[in-house]
Amino acid sequence: MTVVSKAGETVDIFLNGRLKIVQSQRGYRFSVDALLLADFVLTGDEDMVADLGAGCGIISLFLAVKKKPRFIVGLELQDELVSQARRNVALNKLAEKVAIIQGDLRHLPLSTGFADIVVCNPPYRTAQSGRINPDVGKAIARHEIAVSLDAILAASKALLKRKGRLALIYPANRMAEIFTKMRRARLEPKRLQIIFPDSASEAKLALIEGRLQARPGLKILPPIFGQGDDSL
């Protein structure tokens, strides 16, 4: 019998009960950012998706339940998160739609050019900025310790088919940096949606979609305030 959750883990409910997620009680827990990113992603029923830095599998599973692409491969480095993600796939009976692979995106264990879509919720802070969390899982999720933005873009470019799409979420105050680096990687920014804490505050995050080898032309979507759709 497969163990669903272990000591120090919780089982949380999302999408009005359609999705159950095991995650650490005190260690790294995903935030609403991951749900906003998953909701932002556009998929078709024949799309192959790669989820880089899959964590406990929340984005992969959200896409499988709500967006229903053909298949999703989640790539995760950390042992504990790989275990949680695989148990989450089993818990939600999604083994025919989602596979979790342990590996480092800097040394891809996946076939190049297989993905129609790459999705990634990357670390937001450079390794030199701010205090590094003593919890290793939280530190890797928040700071560019195990992986950099350049490495994420290189991996995405390698995995995508021609005209394939990369979707990610990033700090709004680093938008100029990420657009510059995306264009260097031939990932042209095509869709942008900015997230504000409220209507009186500066932008916090940006949801960005880039297309490999595409022509310039950016569509700016209506902004999101707060945590977006309450049904997430």
Q: pLDDT of 97-114, one tens digit each?
A: 999 999 999 999 999 999
| pLDDT in the model for residue 153 | 97
Say if residue 228's pLDDT is above 80: no
- Helix, strand, coil share (%) of the chain residues, nearest 5: 30, 30, 40
Q: pLDDT of 147-178, one tens digit each?
A: 899 999 999 999 999 999 999 999 999 999 99
Contacts of 17 (CB under 8 A, 6+ apart): none
Pick the CATH number of 9-163 from 2.40.30.170, 3.40.50.150, 3.90.1150.10, 1.10.3720.10: 3.40.50.150
Instruction: State the chain's mean pLDDT as an integer.
Output: 89
pLDDT band at 198 (very low <50, low <70, confident <90, very high): very high
| pLDDT in the model for residue 73 | 98
| pLDDT in the model for residue 139 | 41
Average pLDDT of span 118-127: 78
Q: How large a percentage of the chain has pLDDT more than 70?
A: 87
| pLDDT in the model for residue 6 | 86
Q: Which residue has the higher pLDDT, 230 or 117?
A: 117
Q: How far apart are CA 112 and CA 198, in angstroms?
A: 41
The answer to whether 79 and 102 are in contact (CB under 8 A) is yes
| pLDDT in the model for residue 95 | 97
Q: How far apart are CA 138 and CA 26, in angstroms?
A: 10
Q: How far apart are CA 54 and CA 86, in angstroms?
A: 11
Residue 55, amino acid? G
Average pLDDT of span 37-53: 97
Q: pLDDT of 61-85, one tens digit each?
A: 999 999 999 999 999 999 999 999 9
Domain range list for the chain: 9-163
Say if residue 131's pLDDT is above 80: no
Q: Can you give the C-alpha Rg of the chain in angstroms? A: 17
| pLDDT in the model for residue 123 | 81
Q: How far apart are CA 75 and CA 100, in angstroms?
A: 6
Phi, psi torsion values for 217, nearest 5 degrees: 145, 105
